[in-house]
Structure 1
Amino acid sequence: MESIAVAAADRLTIMVTNDDGIDAPGLQAIVRVLVSSNRFNVQVCAPDSYAPSNSSHHSVTWRHPLQARRVYIDGASAFAVSGTPADCASLGLSKVLFPTIADLVVSGINMGSNCGYHIVYSGTVAGAREAFFHGVPSISLSYDWVEGRSNIQDFTLSAEACLPIISAISAEIKRNNYPKSSFLNIDVPTNVSNHKGYKMTKQGRRIIQMGWRQVTSNVQGGKMLSTMTMDVDSPVQTEASASTVSQDYLLFNREVIGAQLDDEDADHSFLKKGYITVTPLGALSPAAADFEAFIKDWLPHAT
C-alpha cells in the first residue's frame, strides 16, 4: 500500500465509527490502513460491542446516559461507547471526547453489503447519516461478505481499495470544494482483489423477503450478519429445545423466503458484477412522482 507522509499540521482528521463494535475486524482494518497511510489524524468512536439486535437503523439513546471508555488502538485516539452507531457519531462530533471536530466521518467497514432498501435498516449507514446531520462529510463502507468465500484479510483489502476515494474526498475538503448536501454509501464486492473499479450507482429497490416460523425455544441458532443483507440461500437455523413454550405466549423466528429483484442499473446489481459501488444518499426518501400525483387528486375527495 502506498504511504505518503503528510505533516501533522496539514493532516485532516477522520473519525471512524461502525455498527459491528469497536473490536470488529472491519473497523480495525480501516483504522489500520488510515493510520499507516500517514495522511490523517484518526479518531475512533464506536459501539463497545456488537449489538445482537441487528438492523438498528438510525436509533438513538434518550433515556439513560452513555458510557464512554478510552481504549487503545495503535495510532488513533479511541473510545468505546455503550450506544448505537448514530449515538457514537453524534458524541464523537460533539467535542466532549475529542479536542477537535473531525473533517470526515467513515462508518464501517460493515460485514455484509448495504444496498437497495436494506440501507433503511443499516446502522452502518446511520453512522454516516448522523454525521451528515451534523454538517460533516461522511462515508459508509460495507464489504459483501459471503460465508465460505470471504476471510478476515478481505477487510484490509477493502480498506486499501477505498483509500483512494477517502484521500480524494479529503483533498476536496481541504480545498473547500466538497459539497455537504449528501453523503456516500460504498459497497465493496466479495472478490475485492479482482474488483472492476469504482462505479457511481443509485440506491436500488432490492430487499430480502423475510417470513416468520413458529419455534419452541428461545435459544436461536445460526449467525446473522450485521445487516439484513445476506445470501438468500443461506439457511437460518433454529436450535430445538426440550423445553416447551408457555401457553401464554408464542415464539417466532425470522427466515429468508426470497428476494425482490433489483433494478439492473442500481447498486446491488453492479456490486454483484464486481464493482465497488459509490452511491450518493440524502437524509430524505422522496415519494414517487406517480404517488404524489395520485394523492394530490385523491385528497380533496377523500376529505
Structure 2
Amino acid sequence: MTSVKNRFLPPSFVSNLQDVLKNRKMEETPAAGEESAVAAEAPEVEATAEEKICEEDVKKEEDSRPIVLVTNEDGIEAPGLRCLVEALVGGGRLNVHVCAPESDKSGSGHCVTLRQTLVASSVDIKGSTAYEVSGTPVDCVSLGLSGALFPWKKPALVISGINRGPSCGYHIIYSGTVAAAREALISGVPSIAVSLNWKKAESSDSDFKEAAEVCLPLIYAAVQDIEKDQFPKGCLLNVDIPTCPSANKGFKLTRQSTTRSNSTWQPVTLHRHMAGQYMSKEQSLGIQLAQLSRAASAAGAARRLNSLRKNIEVESVGESGKPDTPNAVKKYFRAEFSEPENGEMGDDLDYTALQEGFITITPLGLTCDAEVDVRTSTACWIKTVIDKDVPTSL
C-alpha cells in the first residue's frame, strides 16, 4: 500500500489521502461492459414509469460527478494519457473530459498559438468526452476552460499527463505537461501535473497503467478537498512517479532541484530537409507518413480525412509565411537532449527523491521571484552602478 511519507501538506488533505488509500481495496466496481452485456441478452420489455424515473435519477447522479479535464504534451494517442483516462473512467467517481494535442508537443513549454486556425476534432475514448486539438498543451487547457468547446468553464480539477519522462529540476521550464497545469492555475482552476520517470532500457507502456493506479488516491483526495475548499491554493502539484510505480516508497513533498539535460545540435543535410518539406506539401504522402507514425505532424489531418468526426474551428485568422530570400545562406539543425544529469542533491529535492523511489509532490507557484539572498546581492550591485544623484528605493 502506498503511504504518505511527508506531512507538510495541509493535515486535512493528508487525512483524506490516507482514507482513500485505506478504503481503496474495499471498493469494488462491476467490470466494464457487464451490465450492458446482460441487458443485451435480456428480452426487451417496455420500461415502467418507475424504471424510467430510476434511469433519470442515475443520469442526474452521473452528471453531478465532479468534472476533471485531462490533457498532456505527448499527444492524445500517447499511452500515458490513455491509461490515466482509463483509470479515471474505471473508478466511476469523476466525469472525465479530455482536450489534448493531436500530436506530440514535448518540450513546448508555455507556448501558445496566435494568428493561426486551431481545429478541435472529437475522438472516441471510452467513458469520456474527448477532443484532439491542432495546438499546444497550453492551447488545449485554454480552449477547454473557455466555454467554447465544453458546456462548462470550470472543472473541479485539471490533470496533465501522464508524461513520458520526469519533469524535475530545470526541465520544468521546458515541460508542456507542467505548462498545461500552470495554465489552469492561471485561470484559477486547481491542477496536477503527472510524469513517469521513463527509462529506455527498463520502461514499457504497461508502466503507465501502474502509474495511473498509484496516483489515483492523490487525485481522489484532491477532488474531495477541492469540494471542501481545503486544497492548497496558489500552487499546482507537480507529481513525478518512479520508474517502477508499483514498488514506490510512498509520497514525499519535495522542492524543485537544479537537475537539467544538456542539449546538442546536430547538422541536418539539405537533402533530408527538402525531403521532409516535400512530404509535408504532398497530402497523399503526408497521410501515408501519418499512418506509419501517429506522432507525425500530419496525423491529425490524416485522421480527419479518413473518419467522420465533429470538427470545431476555434480561430480563423491566418498569416502568410515569410517569402524566401534569394541567395540567403541556410543551415539546418536538430536538437538532441541527453538524459537528466545530477544537479544539486538533497533529500528534499525532486530528482533525488525520485531516484530513491518516492512519488514526489512538488508545489509550484506562478511567480518567478529570485531568492532573498539573490535579491540582496542584486540590490547591492545596482547601488554601485546607479548615479548617486538618481533617486532610488533600494
Same fold (TM over 0.5): yes
Q: Per-residue CA shift, 1:189-218, capped at 9, x if unaligned? A: 001121111111111111122234545467
Aligned to 1:286: 369
| Superposition map of 1:115-264 within 5 A | 115-214=168-267, 216=269, 219=272, 248-255=329-336, 256=338, 259-264=341-346
Name the SS for the 1:177 alignment partner.
Answer: coil
Cα distance, 1:56 vs structure 2: 0.5
State the AA in 2 paired with 1:14. Answer: V
For residues 230 and 342 of structure 2, the distance between their equivalents in structure 1, rounded to whole angstroms, comes to: 38
Report the CA distance shift for 1:4/1:170 in structure 2 as closer, same or farther (over 3 A): farther
Report the CA distance shift for 1:80/1:268 in structure 2 as closer, same or farther (over 3 A): same
Q: Per-residue CA shift, 1:55-111, capped at 9, x if unaligned? A: 110001111121111111100011111110001001101111111231100000000
Bigger share in strand: 1
Aligned to 2:135: 83
Q: Per-residue CA shift, 1:217-259, capped at 9, x if unaligned? A: 6759xxxxx9xxxxxxxxxxxxxxxxxxx99344444453983
Alpha carbons 1:16, 1:31 under 8 Å: kept: yes
Corresponding residue pairs, total: 277
For residues 94 and 18 of structure 1, the distance between their equivalents in structure 2, rounded to whole angstroms, comes to: 18
Name the SS for the 1:204 alignment partner.
Answer: coil
Bigger share in helix: 2
| Superposition map of 1:104-123 within 5 A | 104-123=157-176
Structure 2's unaligned 5+ residue stretches are: 1-23, 30-57, 274-294, 296-326, 387-394
For residues 188 and 149 of structure 1, the distance between their equivalents in structure 2, rounded to whole angstroms, comes to: 14
Q: Does 1:38 align with 2:92?
A: yes
Name the SS for the 2:192 alignment partner.
Answer: strand
State the AA in 1 paired with 2:343. Answer: L
Report the CA distance shift for 1:17/1:218 in structure 2 as closer, same or farther (over 3 A): farther
State the AA in 1 paired with 2:122. Answer: R
Name the SS for the 1:50 alignment partner.
Answer: coil
Deviates more, 1:287-296 or 1:210-219: 210-219
Alpha carbons 1:66, 1:83 under 8 Å: kept: yes
For residues 68 and 375 of structure 2, the distance between their equivalents in structure 1, rounded to whole angstroms, comes to: 40
| Superposition map of 1:256-275 within 5 A | 256=338, 259-265=341-347, 266-275=349-358
For residues 291 and 279 of structure 1, the distance between their equivalents in structure 2, rounded to whole angstroms, comes to: 22
State the AA in 1 paired with 2:247. Answer: N
For residues 167 and 82 of structure 1, the distance between their equivalents in structure 2, rounded to whole angstroms, comes to: 30
Report the CA distance shift for 1:129/1:258 in structure 2 as closer, same or farther (over 3 A): closer
Alpha carbons 2:195, 2:241 under 8 Å: kept: yes
State the AA in 1 paired with 2:115. Answer: R
For residues 141 and 219 of structure 1, the distance between their equivalents in structure 2, rounded to whole angstroms, comes to: 35
Q: Percent identity?
A: 43
For residues 358 and 340 of structure 2, the distance between their equivalents in structure 1, rounded to whole angstroms, comes to: 24
Alpha carbons 2:266, 2:333 under 8 Å: kept: yes
Alpha carbons 1:210, 1:257 under 8 Å: kept: no
CA RMSD in angstroms, aligned pairs only: 2.3
* TM-score using structure 1 length: 0.85
Q: Is the radius of gyration larger for structure 1 or structure 2?
A: 2
Structure 1's unaligned 5+ residue stretches are: 221-225, 227-245
Aligned to 1:94: 146
Q: Does 1:57 align with 2:109?
A: yes
Cα distance, 1:180 vs structure 2: 2.6
Name the SS for the 1:42 alignment partner.
Answer: strand
Cα distance, 1:298 vs structure 2: 1.8
Alpha carbons 2:63, 2:95 under 8 Å: kept: no
Report the CA distance shift for 1:129/1:108 in structure 2 as closer, same or farther (over 3 A): same
Aligned to 2:101: 47
Alpha carbons 2:257, 2:343 under 8 Å: kept: no
State the AA in 2 paired with 1:173. Answer: I
Name the SS for the 2:341 alignment partner.
Answer: strand
Cα distance, 1:116 vs structure 2: 0.4
State the AA in 2 paired with 1:288. Answer: E
Q: Per-residue CA shift, 1:117-167, capped at 9, x if unaligned? A: 100000000010000001000000000111121111110100000000000
For residues 204 and 72 of structure 1, the distance between their equivalents in structure 2, rounded to whole angstroms, comes to: 39
Q: Does 1:18 align with 2:100?
A: no
Name the SS for the 2:208 alignment partner.
Answer: helix
Aligned to 1:223: none
